[in-house]
Structures are given as structure tokens and as C-alpha cells.
Amino acid sequence: MILLGLNIDHCATVRQARYRSVAPGAEPAVEPDPVALALQAERAGADGITIHLREDRRHIIDADVDRVRREIGTRMNLEMACTDEMAAIAKRLNPDSVCLVPENRAEITTEGGLDVVGQRDRVASIIDSMGEVGVTVSLFIDPDEPQIALAAELGAPWVELHTGSWANAYYVAEQRAVEFNRLVRGANQAHAAGLIVNAGHGINYTNVTEIRTLPHLHECNIGHSIISRALFVGIDDAVGEMKTLLNA
Ligand code: PXP
């Protein structure tokens, strides 16, 4: 069975669009509550909850992170940049897993995978410090041979293959095949090296029918498409439909 990790960042994006300057708990009207959404999504079948605490706190804020840790019943996956600030937060929180991502202040969403090769020492030190507190580390990387090889060498137990280039090419047949083959090669390489293979970014209700055929796929982390669908059908059906499609 392919697991579904629901990324709730965009629920927080809607809240912050109106209530950025309101202190957590100061006003009862603040909505929508991403933690309430997470709890409902869990009841509808989400296997884990993912949040990305960004340096600029543009969607998820510190209070959300603490509440997710306390309140959810599945697994908490904290996406974070490779900074000392984030490593300290993760050590304090003890999420089930952290996913190390690149972070660039100007980007709208995470663009491109983490350059493990270029940041070898920093990534290695965060993997080691998370290991000390028993937090599983996933590296969000492009499906490129040297990145995957180094992820395995550094002892990260999981990788999340960045599916953004494939998703962007989805309606350009030739390019899509090139990108999908890259993902297949990457998944096979990662699996052969003993890594758990996850995937994420740009997965939606259409392209999921192809990504679910990726070999060795353990979990997909999906945010934007499910939150968008939930506006029309509610989070229960949005999660249920994606779980069904993932495992059809
Ligand atoms: N995985 C990672 C590492 C991400 O950074 C994101 C985007 O926040 C996602 C998955 C989810 O991507 P999307 O919102 O396109 O489903």
C-alpha cells in the first residue's frame, strides 16, 4: 500500500492571508485551523501529516508545530531547511521524521531538490544530530545519481524524490517520459542502496495514476491539490479520493 502524507501548509496559507498579525489564541475567529484540518484528514485516512516551518513563517507558524506534535495521532513529518535554528526546533519537538529541503526566501514553493553533494557537511551534521534523538531523516532530492548515492552514504534512511520536474512536464509527452524515467532510475537506485523511497511535489488527482507506478514507492507527500480539492468536496472526500487513487 502506498501511504499518503498530507501537507497542510496551504491551509495555514489561507489563515495567514487574513490573520498574519493576530497572536495565536488571541482571537476566537481565526480560521481555518490547520491542526483541526489535520485531525479531520487523519480520520479520513491520511497516514501522516507534513508541515514546513519556513524561516519567514509565511504559512505554518511555531504555535502550529507545537500543536501538531501534541494533537495528531499519526506521524508528524517536519519539513525544514538545514539551519541551526530548525535543527534546534526539531530536537526539541521530536517529530517522527524530518525532511530536509532547500529553502530560498524568494521562492513561492520549494523549487528543486536539496543539493546534498554541495552541502555535504551541513547535511551530514543534521543527519547525525537527528539520529541522536531518534528522528528519522528524509532528504528531498532530485532523482539524480550522485545525490542518491550520497544520501545513502551519509546514512539518511529515507529519500523523498522531487517530482516537480515530472509534474511540470506532465502534458508534454516526450519530456514527461524523460522525467518519469529519471524518477524510475532514481527509485531503483535508492531502493538498491537500502533507502526508503518517498515522492512529493506537484502530485495531483490526474498525475497520481502515473506516479503510483513508480517502483518501491512507500509514501507520497501531497499538499496543494488536496487542499484545493477540499474547497469543493471537503477534506474527507479529498483525502479519501486520493488514497483510493494512490492504491487503485
Ligand atoms: N514534499 C516537499 C518536500 C515539499 O516541499 C512540498 C511542497 O511544500 C510537497 C511535498 C508538497 O507539494 P505539493 O503542495 O505540490 O503537493
131 close to 90: Cβ distance less than 8 angstroms: no
Q: How many domains does the chain have?
A: 1
Please name the residues in contact with 123: beta carbons below 8 A apart, sequence gap of 6 or more. 82, 100, 114, 116, 139, 154, 156
Q: Is the C-beta atom of 201 inside 6 A of ligand 1?
A: yes
Any ligand 1 atom below 6 A from CB of 243: no
Read off the C-alpha cell for 12.
495555514
The CATH number assigned to the domain holding 45 equals: 3.20.20.70
Which of 164, 166, 246, 169 shows the shortest CA–CA distance to 209? 246
Cα distance between the two ends of the chain = 10
Q: What pLDDT is recorded for position 105?
A: 63
Cα–Cα distance for residue pair 69/94, rounded to 1 Å: 8
Instruction: Enter the pTM of the model.
Output: 0.96
> Residue-wise pLDDT tens for the chain (248 aa)?
999 999 999 999 999 999 999 988 888 889 999 999 999 999 999 999 999 999 999 999 999 999 999 999 999 999 999 999 999 999 999 999 999 999 876 677 767 899 999 999 999 999 999 999 999 999 999 999 999 999 999 999 999 999 999 999 999 999 999 999 999 999 999 999 999 999 999 999 999 999 999 999 999 999 999 999 999 999 999 999 999 999 99
- CA of 219 from ligand 1 middle (Å) equals 13
pLDDT of residue 59: 96
> Does residue 201 carry a catalytic annotation?
yes
Q: Is 86 in the pocket of ligand 1 (CB under 6 A)?
A: no
Atom 9 of ligand 1: nearest residue by CA position: 201
CB 114 within 8 A of CB 141: yes
Q: Which residue of the set 10, 59, 162, 201 is catalytic?
A: 201
Domain holding 170, by residue range, is 3-246
